[in-house]
Amino acid sequence: MLLTASNFLQIVPAGDTTGTGEPTEETYSFLSLILDGGLGGIIIMGMLFVLAIIAAYIFFERFGAIKRANKVDPNFMNNLKDHVSNGKMEAAQALCESTDTPVARLVGKGVSRIGKSMSDISDSIENQGKIEVSSLEKGLPYLATISGGAPMIGFLGTVIGMILAFKEMANAGGQVDPSLLAEGIYTAMITTVGGLFVGIIAYFGYNYLTTRVENAVYQMELHATEFLDLLHEPV
């Protein structure tokens, strides 16, 4: 994404004209700005690029997993009720095992405990629920870390850039040429933009996935309660 913005920035030097009297347009690609930032800027932007790839992988992998988890067959609970009400526990267990969703695994754990106390059934469902939630949240802490860490890495590049700029000023003595400061300023600005960009995208991705996980947890709690109510119904 960062490397495809070939016309990200255009600069028109004041007073620079062609033979026709029209000002010339000097175009800089985002990649050229990164390279102009020197070795420090390239290293920082390389780190940010790696973090962006990791964040994108985590987001799309978790998005697919959570989307599948949120899909619940509307006939699942009806079929389960029929099996349990008719005493067909093996059929009920087979139904849960053949349905690859967190809800089915949650209820299936409860079905396997039928015949024991309600507290034991409830505890087994609760424990299975914790396992399912932990599975859904896998990778999200890394995404949260990237959302906070990427801007910090970008600011580190800013500090490095400003150190380079002041170093050039000190070496120049009383005659400071603005062009001597260019590399440090490039590093400072580009890494800040890169860090904020990666951090913001990761932040919104993390919050979106967290919301989706909460919806999946709601579905599990809803069906777990429905299953426990079924066990309390008179035969």
Q: What is the dihedral angle through the alpha carbons of 122, 216, 143, 152, rounded to the nearest 10 degrees?
A: -90
pLDDT of residue 138: 92
The mean per-residue pLDDT over the stretch 65-88 comes to 85
For the cut 90, the answer to whether the pLDDT of residue 27 exceeds it is: no
> For the whole model, what pTM was predicted?
0.75
Confidence band for 81, pLDDT divided at 50, 70 and 90: confident
Q: How far apart are CA 131 and CA 42, in angstroms?
A: 42
User: What are the boundaries of each domain within the chain?
Assistant: 1-36, 38-68+140-219, 72-137+228-232
Name which of 2-6, 150-154, 163-167, 212-216 the model is least confident about.
Answer: 2-6
Burial 63-96 (b: 16+ CB within 10 A, else e): eebbeebbebeeebbeebeebbeeeeeebbbebb
pLDDT of residue 2: 38
pLDDT of residue 40: 63
The mean per-residue pLDDT over the stretch 202-213 comes to 96
At 156-180, the pLDDT tens digits run: 888 877 777 777 777 766 666 666 6
* Highest mean pLDDT, choosing among 51-55, 162-166, 179-183: 51-55
pLDDT of residue 98: 87
Pull the structure tokens for residue 209.
């996935």
What percent of the chain clears pLDDT 90, i.e. is strictly above it? 29
Check if the beta carbon of residue 219 is closer than 8 Å to that of residue 193: no
- Amino acid found at 113: R
At 93-147, the pLDDT tens digits run: 898 888 888 888 988 888 888 888 888 888 899 999 999 999 999 999 999 999 9
pLDDT of residue 114: 85
The mean per-residue pLDDT over the stretch 204-214 comes to 95
pLDDT of residue 233: 65
